[in-house]
């Protein structure tokens, strides 16, 4: 893996905005550019094939561990409220269908990956990975800035389209409501997913997360017109919902969620400990434990549910700030991320994000942090596969 740099493309901002990607510039909350226009990570075909095979194996391990955690009654230690346990088991037993998830991986000098965590229910950086980095590659090839035959591991768009078609054809999902928080990135992500769904024959309308309602007269969630929501593609974390005023509906509603309710298991960082317990010597897994100190001192401490690197403690450092400090924690053996020099002289630490459609890996996106914790200052950087 190498880090290459380029001059910016003409009208690169317009290329991003054309597909609804508007959050690329620095903001007070995100003080560095979110889109990395002037760099990319380059891989050989052999490196990508190893990453693909490793990520497919990890996908199998994660889904198998999800089922076994449910079967063995491990939900309490994964941070899932007791009142949801039966509904989670029923969701798994029904085989409620999944659309996608993202595996976040550390890449080691030998070209193998290690699982850092699973973004199972509300993975973002999707438009960037599926569309914008592909346009970046096409533009660089057209400008003669990359050798002919340079490609990208990126069938995310196609994989998601095929999975929506599977949900429509095989699982009876012919309509859905699409919902998110009222922020640009989440709205754009859900709009993109709705467009893919409509192309696959799944109709649907959009409403914000706070417009999803309940009614004492029906067993489904309802929209603003009081109509039943039979399938809800919900870019809203379950752990937010179970702390809301209407939390009880999660356990009783007949609305089917996309992503399904069983994803609260896959999305718990406590699953990292269960994975290690099941496969203690697996080369793609890092040792992890729920018991503090069980792995010694060279560990990363993470809340069972958290986002954007909040409340993470690296060995010998203070915790990062955040809103999840009161949750249960998992400890995971520390592994160094690759380190590259940035244009401004500060180090860059890339994390590989492998996308999964259904249970098939389908592409790669990379975010590089300015520190060893990938937080809201991390930049999305395209990748290429060099001939």
| pTM score above 0.85 | yes
Name the burial class of residue 89, with classes exposed (0-12), middle (13-18) and buried (19+) by CB atoms within 10 angstroms of its CB.
Answer: middle
**Distance (Å, whole) CA 273 – CA 64:** 14
Cα-to-chain-centroid distance, residue 174 = 25
Residue 377 clears pLDDT 80, i.e. is over it:
no
Whether omega before 77 lies within 30 degrees of 0, making that bond cis, reads: no
pLDDT value of residue 244: 85
Please, which pLDDT band fits residue 70 given cuts at 50, 70 and 90?
A: very high
pLDDT value of residue 292: 95
- Alpha carbons within 13 angstroms on the beta-carbon side of residue 289 total 12
| Tens-digit pLDDT profile for residues 158-195 | 999 999 999 999 999 999 999 999 999 999 999 999 99
The three-state DSSP-derived secondary structure of 348-383 is EEEEEEEEEECCEEEEEEEEEECCCCCCCCCEEECE
User: 89-93, 124-128, 215-219: lowest mean pLDDT where?
Assistant: 215-219
What average pLDDT score do residues 350-373 get? 96
CA distances (Å), origin 107, targets 126, 276, 316, 332: 20, 19, 22, 16
What average pLDDT score do residues 242-258 get? 92
Please state, for a pLDDT cut of 90, what percent of the chain lies above it. Answer: 90
**Distance (Å, whole) CA 218 – CA 173:** 20
In the chain the domains, ranked by start, together with CATH numbers, are 155-258 (3.40.50)
């Amino acid at each position: 893996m190498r880090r290459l740099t380029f001059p910016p493309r003409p009208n690169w901002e317009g290329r991003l905005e054309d597909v609804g990607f508007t959050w690329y510039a620095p903001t007070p909350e995100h003080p560095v550019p979110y889109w990395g226009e002037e760099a990319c990570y380059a891989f050989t075909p052999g490196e990508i094939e190893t990453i693909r095979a490793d990520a497919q194996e990890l996908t199998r391990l994660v889904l198998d561990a999800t089922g076994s955690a449910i079967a063995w009654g491990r939900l309490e230690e994964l941070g899932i409220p007791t009142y949801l346990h039966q509904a989670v088991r029923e969701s798994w037993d029904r085989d409620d269908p999944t659309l996608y998830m993202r595996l976040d991986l550390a890449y080691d000098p030998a070209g193998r990956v290690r699982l850092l965590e699973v973004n199972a229910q509300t993975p973002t950086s999707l438009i960037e990975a599926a569309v914008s980095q592909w346009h970046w590659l096409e533009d660089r090839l057209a400008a003669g800035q990359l050798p002919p035959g340079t490609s990208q591991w990126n069938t995310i768009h196609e994989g998601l389209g095929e999975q929506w078609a599977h949900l429509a054809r095989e699982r009876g999902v012919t309509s859905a409501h699409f919902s998110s928080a009222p922020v640009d990135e989440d709205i754009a992500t859900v709009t993109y997913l709705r467009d893919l769904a409509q192309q696959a024959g799944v109709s649907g309308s959009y409403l914000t997360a706070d417009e999803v309602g309940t009614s004492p007269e029906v067993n489904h969630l309802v929209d603003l017109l009081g109509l039943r929501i039979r399938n809800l593609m919900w870019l809203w974390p379950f752990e937010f919902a179970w702390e809301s005023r209407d939390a009880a509906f999660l356990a009783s509603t007949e609305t089917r969620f996309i992503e399904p309710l069983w994803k609260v298991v896959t999305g718990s960082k406590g699953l990292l400990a269960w994975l290690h317990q099941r496969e203690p010597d697996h080369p793609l897994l890092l040792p992890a434990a729920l018991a503090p100190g069980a792995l010694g001192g060279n560990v990363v401490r993470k809340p069972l549910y958290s986002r954007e690197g909040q409340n993470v403690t690296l060995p010998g450092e203070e915790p990062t700030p955040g809103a999840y400090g009161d949750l249960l924690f998992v400890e995971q053996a520390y592994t160094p991320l690759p380190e590259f020099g940035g244009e401004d002289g500060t180090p860059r630490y890339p994390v590989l994000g492998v996308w999964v459609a259904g249970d098939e890996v389908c592409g790669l996106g990379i975010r590089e942090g300015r520190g060893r914790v990938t937080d809201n200052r991390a930049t999305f950087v395209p990748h290429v596969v060099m001939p």
